[in-house]
Amino acid sequence: MKTAIPRETIQRLPKYLAYLKEISGQQIEYISSLTIAEYFNLTPILVKKDLSKVSSIVGRPRVGFLVDNLIKDIEICLGYDNMKDALLVGVGKLGSALLSYGGFQNYGLNIVAGMDSNPNLVGTEVSGKKIFSPENAEALIKRMHIKLGIITAPAAEAQAVCDFLINAGMKGIWNFTPAHLKVPDDVVVKNENMAESLALLSVMLQKR
């Protein structure tokens, strides 16, 4: 792995990874960048370059890369090898869906619990995950050194929730609300912006 992997490359890596895991299960040992490119409708050169940025070992000319090696390299690059604990705030429909989704384990993400201000929800469990009150959640965050918060609260409360989480020590926020969040420089926000996706889809459909 070299330094400064472009954002675009990082976004493509999870796709490659899923594909590699699939073919690894099919006992395929080696893969060339050309094969990956064909599968995803990308140019072979692009894939080649992406892999060269990530791969710790050199690919073998005429043969390609050892699949299992590549999987390991991508996982290390994306930090999937060390589990990150997260707390989810706002146990509505979307929040419940995310709490119940088992697939995050594959991405190095472990949602340890939920938090909600609704007293009727506090103390209950969703898919085996406890729902905490803000007070108890704050203690949990500090005790477990949880650095990542997932916000699925109503948009109107998003900023307050965000401030609360950062105050408790969080350094990363995964924001599922349409609200624009203001955070200090040392905190990272990733917006899961459906409006953005929908805008792209809308424009793409319009063109036809």
Partner DNA sequence: TAGATTGTTAATCGATTAACAATC
Q: Is 7 a binder of DNA (CB under 7 A)?
A: yes
Kindly tell me which of 117 and 193 has the beta carbon lying closer to a second copy. Answer: 193
- Asked if 20 and 30 touch (Cβ cutoff 8 Å), the reply is no
**Given the rule CB under 8 A, which residues bind a second copy?**
5, 7, 10-11, 13-15, 18-19, 39-40, 77-80, 84, 92-94, 96-97, 100-101, 103-104, 107-109, 147-148, 171-172, 174, 178, 180, 186, 188, 190, 192-206, 208
Tokens of residue 199, six digits: 């805008």
The single residue among 40, 43, 81, 169 that binds DNA, judged by CB under 7 A, is 43
Which of DNA, a second copy, none binds 160 (CB below 5-8 Å, type-dependent)?
none
Return the range that interacts with DNA (CB under 7 A); candidates 49-57, 121-129, 155-163, 186-194. Answer: 49-57
Cβ at position 24, least distance to DNA in Å: 16
Report DSSP state, residue 73.
H
Pick the binder of DNA from 17, 20, 33, 141 (CB under 7 A): 33
Closest by CA position to 74, among listed 8, 31, 29, 20: 20
Instruction: Give start and end residues of each alpha helix (H) in 55-187.
Output: 67-78, 93-100, 134-144, 155-167
Among 18, 63, 144, 188, binds DNA (CB under 7 A): 63
Considering the complex, what minimum distance in angstroms separates the CB of residue 61 from a second copy?
A: 27
Using the rule CB under 7 A, is 34 a contact of DNA?
Answer: yes
Q: Which residue is it, tokens 């926000």?
A: 189
Residue 93, judged by CB atoms within 10 A of its CB (0-12, 13-18, 19+), counts as exposed
Give CA separation, 14 vs 68, 116, 152, in Å.
15, 31, 23
Please check whether residue 123 is in contact with residue 146, taking contact to mean a CB–CB distance below 8 angstroms: no
| Minimum CB–partner distance for residue 14 and DNA (Å) | 15
Tell the smallest beta-carbon distance from residue 57 to a second copy (Å): 21
56 binds, among a second copy, DNA, none (CB under 5 to 8 A by kind): none
- Reduced to 3 states (helix: H, G, I; strand: E, B; else coil), residue 87 is strand
Phi, psi of 173 (to 5 degrees): -130, 125
> Which residues of the shown chain bind DNA in the complex (CB under 7 A)?
6-9, 32-34, 42-46, 48-49, 51-52, 55, 58-65
